[in-house]
Chain A
Amino acid sequence: MTIRVVIIDDEPLARLAVKTRLAQRGGFTLVGEFGDGDSAFDGIAALRPELVFVDVEMPGRTGLEVLAALPAAQRPMAILLTAYDGFALQAFDLAAIDYLLKPVDDERMDEALDRAQQAFPYRGQGRTTAPAVPAVQTFSVRVGARTVLVPVAEVERIEADGDYATLHANGKTWLVRERLHTLALQLDPRQFHRVHRSSIVRLDMIAELRALTNRDALLRLRDGSVLRASRTYMPALAEALQQFNKKSA
């Protein structure tokens, strides 16, 4: 069963970018495209798509206004697109499942589409809940002719490295031949969290979190490493940290 998608953006090339990515993945059917807020509102009401990609800044009604104007029951899953701004909090209030900064790279787009597919069966039950994919206990890493098993519990963070990923565990690094977003799906979301396009951290490794003026944040881990947390992940990260602290308190 495919997810029916509508794309709303006033720039044709921006719509093309989303369309091309959708076409490369199975499971999604494009049912409509709109170039402004007003026609998008009518279009969503008529087509009843399950997922919309919405540009935030548009002539007429903004993307957020379009979503807010729809009755909650009719509101499709939304992935917001924006070039330069700070709408994350409002976006999460409208239960948008993701929020992307343009230009969007493939990694980030794939993750957004993963989220949509995970959330799809649970639609209408409020916020997206974690899918029941069993979390893995070890990663097997090939080093030359050997295969090394790295226990997930020892992994401190994972970094994207092109189409591969680097595991950081006990001061050592291991190259895994998998992309970051596929690894993310195999991890327990209560312990690990995506903080950036290119990194996942274990929550108990975070020693300092400092908010930045552009709404991103800088994390300092217990081993002194510093890395950025993107604003598009901040609300979810804050929630996860809260849950984590409750659990460990």
Chain B
Amino acid sequence: MKVETPLLVPVLAALPVCACMAILGLPAFTHQHGAAFRSLYFLACLAWLMPLALLQRAMWRREWPWLRMALVLLSATYAMSLLNAVLGQRLAISLGLETDYRWAELVEGLDGCWLALIAFCAVHAVAGYYLSLQRMRLHLAQAQAAARDAELRALRLQVNPHFLFNSLNAISALVAAQSNREANRMLACVSDFLRATLAHDGRHEHALAEELALLDAYLEIEKARLGERLRLTMKAGPDVLDAVVPYLMLQPLVENAIRHGIAPLAAPGRLDIRVERQDARLLVEVHNDGLQPAHVGSGIGLANVRERLRHLYGDDQQVEAGWGEDGRFGVRIAMPLRAVEAAA
């Protein structure tokens, strides 16, 4: 048990034990000297609780094995009970009930004190163990959340610069070719996309409407680049615009579809983006024309999206990607359908 438990724990652990002793002691008050003896034992036990608690905590800190701790505590409490019994005999002598210590009877009737002290140790151990377990769990969860956050951030950052420099390069080419109008149009589109990403507040998820708007801003750049060669449809079913999706989930998929699918084609290529609900699931599909490559590889973009979905939704999501029988490449994502909070 490495985690320190607060000092309040032994105090709270002592309460039920003391309460039991007090209640069990009540009938003794009708006897002549009963009250005096009970009070003595009670106070003596109470006095032992503090050193006992410290001993127990010291052993926890050293991380002793349970068996050794139990043996040490049993012998310590036994010794304490013996001392209590000696005190009891001393009281009897001073009250004139006895004339001298009777050592042979010392070990009789120890059970009251010993059991009480053992009970305290047990309650203390259980409470301390439970508390430290809770704390360890919390720390673990915090550490995992921090790691997940950092990883998501890194995955997200892979998306942006890559795309930005490609666009700047395209603009540079337009300027070199003195296509001023096109260069200007591209600049306006890139600015739109940057404005949209800058408006983002750093959350890992946002509404599908925001995601589609971002994608539209991105696609406008690709349309300017490819012109006629990109045939595009982007459709959404009813009642999905408020659904929560990972930030920049679609853009890397679409970028892949264009870069590896449509851009290398000689003829115009179709890109179809479709989002709809199916019961409690959100289905996102991206299909594009393309030439089936000799080697099979899904690219960084898809791996990135897979990772982020896994981080955010665990096993409650599926990503399927591959070439369909119609000769088109398709990515299909199924994920839980959840609406953004109305306050957002």
Q: Are B235 and A162 in contact (CB under 8 A)?
A: no
Q: Are A207 and B241 in contact (CB under 8 A)?
A: no
Chain A residues with Cβ below 8 Å from B242 are 210
Question: Which residue of chain B has the shortest Cβ distance to A220 in the bound complex?
Answer: B236
Report the minimum CB–CB distance from A66 to chain B (whole Å).
25
Q: Are B188 and A220 in contact (CB under 8 A)?
A: no
Per-residue CB contact flags for chain B residues 14-56 toward chain A (1 = under 8 Å, else 0) read 0000000000000000000000000000000000000000000
| Cα distance A100–B188 in the bound complex, in angstroms | 11
| Cα distance A160–B224 in the bound complex, in angstroms | 10
Confirm or deny: A190 has a beta carbon within 8 angstroms of a beta carbon on chain B.
no
Q: Are A101 and B195 in contact (CB under 8 A)?
A: yes
| Cα distance A104–B181 in the bound complex, in angstroms | 11
For the complex, count residues of A whose C-beta is within 8 A of B.
29
Q: Are A210 and B241 in contact (CB under 8 A)?
A: yes
Chain A residues with Cβ below 8 Å from B249 are none
| Cα distance A225–B237 in the bound complex, in angstroms | 9
Q: Are B241 and A225 in contact (CB under 8 A)?
A: no
Q: Are A162 and B238 in contact (CB under 8 A)?
A: no
Among A104, A105, A207, find the residue whose CB has the most chain B CB atoms closer than 10 A. Answer: A105
Known: A213-B199, A228-B213. A208 touches B184 (CB 8 A): no
Chain B residues with Cβ below 8 Å from A207 are 238
| Cα distance A108–B238 in the bound complex, in angstroms | 31
| Cα distance A198–B209 in the bound complex, in angstroms | 18
Per-residue CB contact flags for chain A residues 97-125 toward chain B (1 = under 8 Å, else 0) read 00001111111100000000000000000
Confirm or deny: B198 has a beta carbon within 8 angstroms of a beta carbon on chain A.
yes
Q: Are A226 and B191 in contact (CB under 8 A)?
A: no
* B window 87-124: CB within 8 A of A: none
Q: Are B188 and A197 in contact (CB under 8 A)?
A: yes
Confirm or deny: B70 has a beta carbon within 8 angstroms of a beta carbon on chain A.
no
Report the minimum CB–CB distance from B125 to chain A (whole Å).
53
Q: Are A162 and B182 in contact (CB under 8 A)?
A: yes
Chain A residues with Cβ below 8 Å from B198 are 84
Confirm or deny: A218 has a beta carbon within 8 angstroms of a beta carbon on chain B.
yes
Q: Are B187 and A105 in contact (CB under 8 A)?
A: yes
Confirm or deny: B327 has a beta carbon within 8 angstroms of a beta carbon on chain A.
no
Q: Classify the secondary structure of B's interface with A.
A: helix
* A window 173-198: CB within 8 A of B: 197-198
* B window 190-246: CB within 8 A of A: 191-192, 195-196, 198-199, 201, 207, 209-210, 212-213, 216-217, 220, 223-224, 227-228, 233-238, 241-242
Q: Are B209 and A225 in contact (CB under 8 A)?
A: no
Among A161, A223, A224, find the residue whose CB has the most chain B CB atoms closer than 10 A. Answer: A224
* A window 206-225: CB within 8 A of B: 207-208, 210, 212-214, 216, 218, 220, 223-225
Per-residue CB contact flags for chain A residues 131-150 toward chain B (1 = under 8 Å, else 0) read 00000000000000000000
Chain A residues with Cβ below 8 Å from B191 are 101-103
Chain B residues with Cβ below 8 Å from A197 are 188
Confirm or deny: B153 has a beta carbon within 8 angstroms of a beta carbon on chain A.
no
Q: Are A220 and B184 in contact (CB under 8 A)?
A: no
Q: Are A225 and B235 in contact (CB under 8 A)?
A: yes
Contact of A216 among B184, B187, B201, B213 (CB under 8 A): B213
Question: Which residue of chain A has the shortest Cβ distance to B200 in the bound complex?
Answer: A213
Question: Which residue of chain B has the shortest Cβ distance to A103 in the bound complex?
Answer: B187
Per-residue CB contact flags for chain A residues 160-178 toward chain B (1 = under 8 Å, else 0) read 0111000000000000000
Confirm or deny: B311 has a beta carbon within 8 angstroms of a beta carbon on chain A.
no
Contact of B195 among A84, A161, A223 (CB under 8 A): A84
Confirm or deny: A237 has a beta carbon within 8 angstroms of a beta carbon on chain B.
no
Q: Are B182 and A226 in contact (CB under 8 A)?
A: no
Chain B residues with Cβ below 8 Å from A220 are 236, 238, 241
Report the minimum CB–CB distance from B99 to chain A (whole Å).
92
Residues on A lying within 8 angstroms of B by beta carbon are 84, 101-108, 161-163, 197-198, 207-208, 210, 212-214, 216, 218, 220, 223-228
What 3 pairs across the A-B complex have the smallest Cβ distances?
A224-B235, A214-B199, A105-B188
In the assembled complex, 15 residue pairs joining A and B whose CB atoms fall closer than 8 Å, in A order, are A84-B198, A101-B188, A103-B184, A105-B187, A105-B189, A106-B181, A107-B185, A208-B238, A210-B241, A213-B199, A218-B210, A220-B238, A224-B236, A225-B233, A228-B216
